[in-house]
Structure 1
Amino acid sequence: MTWIGRKSSLGKKQIWYEVEENETIEQCLERMRQDGYMAMGRKEEPIFHLVNGEPTYLRQKIQFKAMLCQDSD
């Protein structure tokens, strides 16, 4: 899957949102709500970089799988 910027399309009703480096989880969830989506899953993976040829932990990458909210009138 190719990640494009802050969100990646899985289809018309599902999108992956990534928590930005200077963004809290709550801010990401609020951004999702403003776009009309609701979190349905979460995944995390460590990000490493090389220091003197050795992998060193840099940060945690957090992504939310979001589904389009449907209004029930």
Structure 2
Amino acid sequence: MKKKKFKVSDYQSIDDCLNQMQQEGYRPVRRIEKPVFQEQQNGDPEPVEQDIVFQAIKQE
């Protein structure tokens, strides 16, 4: 079983990423969302964006 990760870029929608996976012959098995934080002036973290990564396996 061959695995590959696909990251949704800033200029791409989730559907675009899923279509890209399908065109390359992969299907998603897991979705991982990680928040990205930026430190404010007072030292508190502030969420600024969300990274979305799909783990996919090769279709047979």
TM-score relative to the length of structure 1: 0.73
Q: How many residues align?
A: 59
- After TM superposition, which residue ranges in structure 1, 4 or more long, deviate above 3 angstroms? none
Distance in 2 (alpha carbons) for counterparts of 1:38 and 1:14? 10
Superposed displacement of residue 54, structure 1: 2.6
Gaps of 5+ in 2: none
Partner of 1:67: 57
Distance in 1 (alpha carbons) for counterparts of 2:20 and 2:39? 32
Matching residue's letter, 1:64? F
Q: What is the aligned counterpart of 2:10 among 2, 15, 21?
A: 21
Distance in 1 (alpha carbons) for counterparts of 2:27 and 2:3? 9
Gaps of 5+ in 1: 1-11
Counting only pairs closer than 5 Å after superposition, residues 1-73 of structure 1 correspond to structure 2 as 13-52=2-41, 53-70=43-60
TM-score relative to the length of structure 2: 0.87
Identity rate of aligned residues, in percent?
Answer: 32
